[in-house]
Structure 1
Amino acid sequence: MTAPDLVKEPTGTAPLLKVENLSKHFPVRKGVFRRAVGAVRAVDDVSLELRPGETLSLVGESGCGKSTTGRLLVRLLDPTSGRIEFDGVDIARLPQRELRGKRRELQIMFQDPYASLSPRMTVHDIVAEPLRVQGRYRENGADRVAELLELVGLRPEHALRYSHEFSGGQRQRVSLARALALDPRLLVLDEPVSALDVSVQAQVINQLRSLQEQLGVAYVFISHNLSVVRHISHRVAVMYLGSIVETGTRAQIFTSPTHPYTQALLSAIPVPDPEGRETRERITLTGDVPSPSNPPSGCPFRTRCWKAQDICAREKPALVDRTGVGHPSACHFPEIPGGSQTPGTPST
């Protein structure tokens, strides 16, 4: 995989996507009449921004709300509350008729290409389907499909084959071609390489970076693989139990994380060390992830945090910059870059 430092910075300054206080709660129903007796807080008060041509990665453990957030951004799910402002328009409550026009600019690529591609359709028909739905196939649809296949590294003869005839990496390229068919400005990538071999992961990641430089498309990259995230991201948002607990540039997150949860995730990244010289301390989290239908009071991470104190149970920390370096985290006792805590806070 190419060196992380070669990720080019986006040129845009105004946000393409601005999310404010986004939440999605799924009702828990019981009884004969299926009455709501509670709610699963899958996404809870999430705010983020994304510039044109930028890659923002959402990372965290399985079940933290990453994929649900991605589906909310493209309105595959309707939010419970909050704003999703895309290019100045709040699409969170946009009627379906008006949303259809916006869907040309918002696309998603799913984790499992075998499940997301119809086995009854040829690759040509799969890639051409968005063009037909939007009424753009009659113009030069066949040429556009051939152009898209070449763009993602597939050959023209692949258009007549079916998805089951391809390898996992090739199927993911078909999914990418389909997602790019309408020239989107924002592409949500939901674990796009998690099911692929390491060598194929590198090929797909490098392809995504090349396409971003060529087309200027912005990515929301969802993953639990921090090694991959480091190679493609401009900025990173760390999620835990439906909430964002830390955001920052790639360098800030990977070299000076301020939230205990981020520190634990980074400590688990495997490092090649055949001679046994690795001295990095591994942080092992104790306890189970709380249920999103019954989250703990105060800080959602406090039940597994070695820094937790009384204030953590009483008050949920806001996602703000407490260190003064433009690096917000939702922690009462964030780590200051350099290894110390915020001045005036107790030691651990």
Structure 2
Amino acid sequence: MQLPFELPRAADLSDPALTRTLQHQLDHKTKPLGALGRLEALALQLGQILGTDQPTLQAPQMVVFAGDHGLAARGVSAYPSDVTWQMVENFLAGGAAVSVLARQHGLALTVVDCGVARDIAPRAATPGQPQLLLHKVAPGTQDASVGPAMTAAQCAQALHNGMEVVRALPGNALLLGEMGIGNTSVASLLLARLCGVSLQDCTGAGTGLDAAGIERKRAVLAQALAANATATEPLAALAALGGFEVATMTGAVLQAAQERRVIVVDGFITSAAVLVAARLQPAVLQRCVFAHSSGEPGHALMLAQLQAKPLLDMGLRLGEGSGAALAWPLLQSACAVLREMASFEAAGVATQGG
């Protein structure tokens, strides 16, 4: 699929000298070697992303991308499409899980209408309150079970919108969230198409389907794969099978990666956007911290495809960015340990055998 603009390029972050410096600092903190476990690996990664041995996370941005899906009319979700716009209003009113967690952890919350079926009323930005950005490509995608979910032009617009969203936001950390009834179907379709994973293995209950509902969902998704059999390249698959929120998020990930922002990936749907972005620019994954492994069966399979090790495993399957927000304090702790924890020499503490 040809785009009328160039996608941001994510440069390889490999810097052997910086990596040696970071590892030396971690190894000489006042602790047994490797005693902080995966927190040390996280600190090393954050130093590599930000290009310093004194990493500081600044003005973190939680962005929730919202859109509706034509597939939802086929009964692939336990909830009606109206829940998408209702939850967007809940985010903005401060009542959703991600709203609560963003407040708790000092994360600026932005909600992006990428393609919600109902128009969301614009409102003035208020200090300390969630920000709403209107980047609606169309009021929901088409039904992918009978043809492409979006046109090439619509997909390109969504990608560009995501790039513009990130360019306008401050800070050096982007936390990904999403909302869209039917979007676990999109994630399953992209995993099946781009990674060859069977729908039987990667399709789950989503918002709460029973066993019969899951079988119905699998049948509909099989129809979508068949109806878009020629869409095999990453961008073509995204346009044919994806959602406006996933495409917008893909553009945001590519832009954030180019800017060397830390990208905190939430669950199954946000990982699907990262999967597409990484197929286009593999170095994107160097910037990604995967917050958790969700209860959706396809997510573990997608994490394996991405060779990602999530920080948490709590059975979460809400989405919204809730898992990314819960993992955020671990990133803060990793940076603080690297910056502030004393070395054996500075603290006057004897080393092993000393």
Q: Give the TM-score normalised by the residue count of structure 2.
A: 0.30
Higher strand residue share: 1
Q: Give the TM-score normalised by the residue count of structure 1.
A: 0.30
- Structure exhibiting the larger radius of gyration computed from Cα positions: 1
Higher helix residue share: 2
